[in-house]
Amino acid sequence: MPEPAIPAQILVFAGHDPSGGAGIQADIEAIAANGGHALPVLTALTVQDSHNVQQLRPLEGDWVRRQAEALLADFPIAAVKIGLLGGVEVIAVIRDLLAKLASDIPLILDPVLAAGGGHALAGTTVEAALRGELLPRCHLLTPNANEARRLSGCDDLEAAASALLQQGCGAVLLTTADESSERVINTLYRPDFPPLALTWPRLPDTYHGSGCTLAAALSAQLGRGVSLEKAVQQAQTYTWQSLQRGYRAGGGQAFPQRIDARRPHANRKSQFPYS
Ligand code: PLP
């Protein structure tokens, strides 16, 4: 019998969302559905429901370091995904851990600053540390429009993306799901390439954990060795289909259906993106 294929090992730094819509559960599901195996290092605990985050408690930096060191000593890491950080101590620990990893291992940074429900998930010191310590090291940054504006200080999204590239990240996938435009336009910006935009029909719901889902799917695709352009297309298709098949588990935001997201929806006709 041939050996079963080993999925790409994705080291994930993320917070716990007990509602299961966002955070580490979103990452585990999306990474598994995209052919990876998540190695989830917890950075923070939260109290939240499907409406909003109520409380955030970052873990002690030493706990983050020890979780990650045990994994780094045992698993070959194909990619790293960073989500909710919680505090500056955690950021310093992650910065030091990253310095020990080969610099060509894809690092995907989802700069989580606020919950969809509005609760702040990063104050100005966390935001500054994220910008100074992690952003210059990442291969792909996945901000929504609000995060891109905050991190760059630019109101115009094109200007924001080029300012973020100048701050040192390898590429920016800027999503506009948090805007109110008729369609969602997600654009990949890279130095020396024209922007690559994909346009999607705006779905009627608001979703909890859509950004986590996209960044985690990207980390699995890139960890499997898929090219950046293809990974960006496949991860968006996967995420959009997860949202389109999303379900309302609680009374607030809908949750993406990340597991087996390619299965046709029982009630709604599957739609494909506008080109
Ligand atoms: N809780 C945790 C642990 C998260 O990581 C995130 C986002 O990354 C959120 C809540 C907020 O998710 P959303 O912006 O989809 O509401």
Q: What is the pTM of this model?
A: 0.93
pLDDT along the chain (275 residues), means of 10: 85 98 98 97 97 96 98 98 97 97 97 93 95 97 97 97 97 96 96 96 94 98 98 97 94 93 49 40
The residues lining ligand 1, judged by C-beta closer than 6 Å to any ligand atom, are 14-15, 17, 22-23, 46, 48, 53, 83-84, 112, 115-117, 208-212
Residue from 12, 17, 109 whose mutation best tests the ligand 1 pocket (most atoms within 8 A of CB): 17
With b meaning 16 or more CB within 10 Å and e meaning fewer, what string describes 101-114?
eeeebbbbbbbbbb
Three-state secondary-structure class, residue 56:
strand
- State the distance from the centre of ligand 1 to the C-alpha of 145, rounded, in angstroms: 15
Residue from 50, 81, 84, 142 whose mutation best tests the ligand 1 pocket (most atoms within 8 A of CB): 84
| Farthest-apart Cα atoms in the chain, separation | 58
Which atom of ligand 1 is found nearest the CA of 117? 16
Dihedrals φ, ψ of 263, to 5°? Answer: -65, 135
